[in-house]
Amino acid sequence: MHSRRDFLQKLTATALSFPLVSGVSTEVFAHSKEVHQNEKVLKVAIMGLGSYANRVADAMKDCKRAKITGVISGTPSKVKDWQTRFNIPDKNCYNYDNFDAIKNNPDIDAVYIITPNAQHHPQTLRVAAAGKHVICEKPMSINAKEGKEMIEACKKAEVHLLIGYRMHFEANTLEIVRMQREGELGKIRFFQGLSGFRIGDPTQWRLNRELAGGGAMMDIGIYAINGSRYMIGEDPFWVTAQEVKTDPVKFKEGVDETITFQLGFPSGAIASCLSTYNMNYLDKFFLNGDNGFAEMQPSTGYGPIRSWTNKGRLDLPHVTHQTTQMEEMAAIILDGKKAVIPVDGEEGWKDMVIIDAIFESLRTGNKVEIKYA
């Protein structure tokens, strides 16, 4: 079975190293390991013990401020395996029926939800009601309405809602965002985001509309949507979109195979993006400004990320994305730290608003105004 995660891992595994361009600040990617003995540690329960959960868990072994202390799964054999690997006591193990009981468990501060997309909304509401912080994988929900309800539930419970945007903490990404924000690229005119791979097993949940909420757009296309926003530094206000489907058996009604879409931004910048489950080796960002450009390829894989600008190569040192993500999210929850690129529920909701607009454009064939309300 081939999944996005298998693809991203293979795509970046053999990337070659290049010298760093001179003069690049290292502040944006420094992964601090200097943690005082008395600093709090975020105690995390992982919900959903699939392949990506295992990647997160392995990366968290190197975390100083985030630790796996519990699990939630519907598969007893997986629970037993994780108990052995991470020394998790029976009292911190739950299934999908009884996990509301985490409310009374001081060993768990937050729950990282890594389940099929359609389950994020109800599970977030339950975790919030239990008084625990929520870290939810992207997409945060299957539509903007559900995303807004998740935000409101977490606000009511006075808990954090963070979305698993690992790229928001990645070194090359942060350096290019810094260059854009500080005007080094001049006025931004254009962004291109290409996100895709050929998906395998036709029976997997990512090709099940009821569980995934769509197809490639919900899985891989969201990278281009989110990337356009943080690379340009604005939120788009219109979209046009076109869909191509070559295999209606594999990609059933409501499960998109390939979508091209265009976004317009208040400054006049435009974005041209592609999301697909039917083309390999599509993992590229390109940002163009009056005074320079930045390019990343791979741009969102598991690393190392490769990048360059009109000034030369960046290729900043690679740190496992999920390690950095969880360290930074612990600091957000425990210390009130502000992320350079937001990872809160509002950030996730805006992507869902855009996805809703893309699907509306496909349905109507019209240019659609994006309304954040």
For residue 249, give every residue at least 6 positions away whose Cβ sits within 8 Å of its Cβ, in sequence order, or none. Answer: none
What is the distance between the alpha carbons of residues 49 and 60, in angstroms, rounded to a whole number? 14
Give the tokens for residue 357.
């607009």
Q: Report pLDDT for 227.
A: 98
Helix (H) or strand (E) holding 134: strand 133-136
- The alpha carbon of 1 is separated from its chain's Cα centroid by a whole number of angstroms, namely 22
Q: How far apart are CA 268 and CA 313, in angstroms?
A: 28
Candidates 3.40.50.720, 3.40.50.2300, 3.40.50.150, 3.20.20.70; CATH matching 16-164? 3.40.50.720
* pLDDT value of residue 39: 86
Largest CA distance in the chain: 59
Sheet strands (E) in the chain:
42-47, 66-72, 93-94, 110-113, 133-136, 161-163, 188-196, 238-244, 258-264, 270-276, 282-289, 292-296, 307-309, 312-313, 368-369
Q: Which of 190, 165, 199 is nearest to 285 (CA)?
A: 190
Which positions of the chain have pLDDT values less than 70?
1-38
Kindly write down the DSSP assignment for every residue of 216-260, as one continuous string: HIIIIIHHHHHHHHHHHTS---EEEEEEE-S-TTTS-TT--SEEE
pTM: 0.91
- Residue 192, token pair as written in the block: 């291109």
* pLDDT tens string 203-235: 999 999 999 999 999 999 999 999 999 999 999
Distance, CA of 141 to CA of 204 (rounded, Å): 18
Q: Where in the chain is the domain with CATH 3.40.50.720?
A: 16-164
**CB-neighbour burial class of residue 333 (10 A; exposed 0-12, middle 13-18, buried 19+):** buried
148 is catalytic: no
Q: Which of 112, 223, 230, 277 is catalytic?
A: 223
Domain with CATH 3.30.360.10 in the chain: 167-318+343-369
Q: Given this model, what pLDDT does residue 33 score?
A: 44
Can you give the pLDDT at residue 8? 54
Structural tokens at position 98: 């009884």
Report phi then psi at 168, rounded to 5. -70, -10
Tokens of 25: 């600040």
Catalytic residue among 43, 138, 284, 350: 138
d(CA 273, CA 259): 8
| Topology given in CATH for the domain delimited by 167-318+343-369 | Dihydrodipicolinate Reductase; domain 2 (3.30.360)
> Would you say 172 and 156 are in contact if contact means Cβ atoms under 8 Å apart?
no
Using an 8 Å Cβ cutoff, are 171 and 319 in contact?
yes
State yes or no: is 223 an active-site residue: yes
What is the C-alpha separation between 239 and 228, in angstroms, rounded?
A: 12
